[in-house]
């Protein structure tokens, strides 16, 4: 395809990639095997990118390339947190500087940007270590160079960079023994690969990530069952110190030499007048005094690594002691209220989704992997999600099965059929039987003209009532349609009614609706809750 990506396309892709990194920061954080000297890698990288996006959002419409590059580099430098954040800021700076002089996004400009990013990032670290984010960057740059030589298209070049980034991440345990000892990959490298992947996917318009993350998750990384390393003990330095320096006179090389005499993990990046300082030291006061003699300082953060390490060790120990269940649950639901009810009934992870947003196979697989259980049951709660749930179970490394619920109320009943002493297969059968007699009704508004199950006309904006997937009622008011739908669902012969109020039905309207139902069905037990689901003022079930 022609290289026709605009500046706006690039900005949107950066924002999308930043959002992805923020959403997956906990996944990255779990790979940290070092005792928190700089905070967690995923958090630091995501905060760095969020500051970049904030800077870009403040640009005037039609800002030129130079303004965009400055917003990115300044935002990354000012927002950088910890080693991983500072190095990320230098990678972004290098990518921006390397793109100068190129009018289009193509294999040539991608190669130039990555080549310069390697130079800038490696210069920022005095003692580069193999098997880290720098290795992943260098390998990605090599892939960009090969793409240029092969004269690949823009999309093909980006795909090659992403694929090599993930491949490089998988190789990090072979280069850094502490990673192999703990069965994990490098957190910073993995975060960088996720960022590249999300950026490329957003820019090229591909559905989902370009990298085969499902295969990646089944391979060497990421694993969450990690062992804490207490190698902080005995370190000569206690305080992680980082801050901004504004100076027209600071000599960066001289300043870096000074930091080397104060501690380790020293970084001094940027250029006059704006610099970012990071160092592990026992004397942060001397570091600050030195920089104050040469300029002004701001955004000072000093963390006691010993205390952070102890807190992390305690947290991981508590997490490890959490009881592992024989069977855990993943459920799909929209609405905070529905999620709370499901969790109160024993669901471990609620994936946001439903009629208006169907989660992917990977979303469900990730959720199943989060569950601390020997086996997992997925409750899709929507007919359009059942196949994705079944695919996730096919990819899961732990035993996994689907109870094919098509609504949240069905899930409620299914969960009451759980027998903790029974096998996975026995529970699937029992839970499926438990909701077999549940009839579900949903009330919403028509978004276009149509016909109901009885060939009656439906006009856009009409309130419609759906019983087990069939449009059975049409009206002008939510309450009237609910009552008509209850009659069609044989509520007079039912024992209980579960009613979930959507975000568009306020408490007063809910109370009035319950009172009207009680008057019409005096022997029906009504269990009303706030589900807070969007677009559906009422979801209900009778059994």
pLDDT, residue 439, reads 95
Task: Give the pLDDT of residue 215.
Answer: 40
pLDDT digits (tens, 9 = 90+) for 119-147: 999 988 877 888 889 999 999 999 999 99
Residue with tokens 């749930």: 389
Put the strands of the sheet holding 325-333 in their side by side order: 349-352, 325-333, 373-379, 400-402
Q: Are 527 and 498 in contact (CB under 8 A)?
A: yes
**Sign of torsion, CA 14 20 23 26?**
negative
d(CA 256, CA 278): 10
Structure tokens at 60: 């005037």
Phi, psi of 29 (to 5 degrees): -60, -35
Evaluate whether 500 touches 513 at the Cβ level (below 8 Å): no
Pairing of strands 400-402, 439-445: unpaired
Cα–Cα–Cα angle for 271, 298, 121, rounded to 5 degrees: 35
Query: How many other CB atoms are found less than 10 A from the CB of residue 529?
Result: 15
Gap between the Cα atoms of 186 and 182, Å rounded: 11
Contact residues for 241 (Cβ-Cβ < 8 A; gap 6+) = 277, 278, 279, 280, 281, 284, 287, 288, 300, 301, 302
Token pair listed for 497: 């009614």
Q: What is the pLDDT of residue 357?
A: 67
Could you tell me how far CA 405 lies from the centroid of its own chain? 26
Contacts of 99 (CB under 8 A, 6+ apart): 65, 69, 109, 112, 113
pTM: 0.50
Which residues of the chain carry a pLDDT beneath 70? 1-3, 32-39, 182, 207-236, 308-323, 354-357
Cβ contacts of residue 235 below 8 Å, gap of 6+? 280, 305
Report the pLDDT value the prediction gives residue 450, as an integer from 0 to 100: 84
pLDDT at position 462 is 94
Residue 39 DSSP symbol: B
How are beta strands 496-501 and 538-542 bridged, if at all? antiparallel
pLDDT, tens digit, for every residue of 171-195?
Answer: 988 998 877 876 778 888 999 999 9
Domains of the chain: 7-218 (1.25.40.340), 239-309 (3.30.70), 323-434 (3.40.50.510), 439-542 (3.30.1180)
């Amino acid at each position: 395809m022609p290289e026709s990506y605009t500046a706006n396309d690039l900005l949107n892709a950066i924002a999308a990639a930043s959002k992805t990194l923020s959403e997956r920061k906990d996944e990255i954080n779990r790979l940290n095997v070092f005792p928190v000297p700089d905070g967690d890698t995923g958090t630091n990288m995501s905060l760095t990118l969020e500051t970049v996006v904030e800077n870009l959002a403040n640009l005037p419409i039609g800002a030129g390339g130079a303004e965009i590059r400055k917003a990115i580099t300044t935002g990354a430098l000012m927002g950088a947190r910890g080693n991983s954040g500072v190095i990320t800021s230098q990678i972004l700076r290098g990518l921006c500087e390397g793109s100068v002089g190129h009018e289009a996004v193509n294999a040539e400009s991608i190669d130039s940007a990555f080549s310069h990013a390697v130079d800038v990032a490696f210069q920022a670290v005095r003692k580069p270590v193999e098997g880290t984010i720098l290795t992943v960057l260098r390998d990605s740059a090599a892939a960009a160079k090969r793409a240029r030589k092969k004269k690949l298209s823009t999309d093909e070049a980006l795909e090659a960079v992403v694929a090599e980034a993930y491949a490089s991440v998988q190789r990090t345990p072979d280069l850094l023994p502490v990673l192999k000892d703990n069965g994990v990959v490098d957190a910073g490298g993995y975060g960088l690969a996720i960022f590249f992947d999300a950026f490329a996917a957003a820019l090229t318009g591909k559905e989902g990530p370009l990298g085969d993350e499902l295969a990646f998750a089944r391979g060497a990384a990421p694993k969450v069952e990690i062992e804490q390393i207490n190698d902080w003990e005995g370190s000569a330095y206690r305080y992680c110190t980082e801050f901004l320096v504004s100076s027209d006179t600071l000599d960066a090389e001289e300043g870096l030499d000074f930091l080397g005499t104060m501690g380790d993990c020293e970084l001094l990046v940027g250029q006059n007048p704006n610099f970012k300082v990071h160092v592990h030291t026992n004397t942060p006061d001397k570091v600050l005094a030195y920089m104050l003699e040469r300029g002004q300082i701001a955004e000072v953060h000093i963390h006691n690594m010993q205390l952070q390490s102890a807190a992390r060790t305690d947290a991981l120990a508590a997490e490890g002691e959490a009881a592992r269940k024989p069977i855990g649950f993943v459920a799909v639901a929209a609405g905070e209220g529905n999620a709370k009810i499901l969790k109160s009934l024993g669901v471990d992870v609620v994936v946001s989704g439903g009629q208006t947003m169907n989660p992917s196979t990977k979303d469900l697989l990730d959720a199943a992997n989060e569950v601390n259980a020997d086996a997992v049951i997925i409750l899709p709660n929507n007919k359009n999600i059942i196949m994705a749930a079944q695919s996730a179970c096919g990819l899961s490394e732990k035993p996994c099965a689907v109870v094919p619920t098509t609504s949240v109320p069905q899930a409620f009943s299914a969960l009451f059929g759980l027998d903790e002493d029974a096998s996975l297969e026995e529970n699937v059968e029992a839970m499926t039987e438990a909701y077999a007699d549940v009839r579900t009704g949903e009330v919403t508004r028509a978004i276009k003209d149509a016909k109901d199950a009885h060939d009656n006309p439906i006009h856009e904006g009409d309130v419609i009532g759906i019983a087990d997937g069939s449009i059975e009622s049409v009206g002008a008011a939510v309450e009237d349609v609910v009552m008509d739908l209850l009659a069609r669902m044989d509520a007079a012969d039912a024992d209980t009614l579960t009613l979930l109020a959507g975000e568009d039905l306020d408490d007063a309207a809910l109370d009035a609706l319950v009172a009207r139902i009680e008057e019409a069905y005096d022997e029906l037990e009504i269990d009303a809750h706030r589900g807070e689901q969007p677009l559906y003022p009422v979801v209900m079930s009778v059994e």
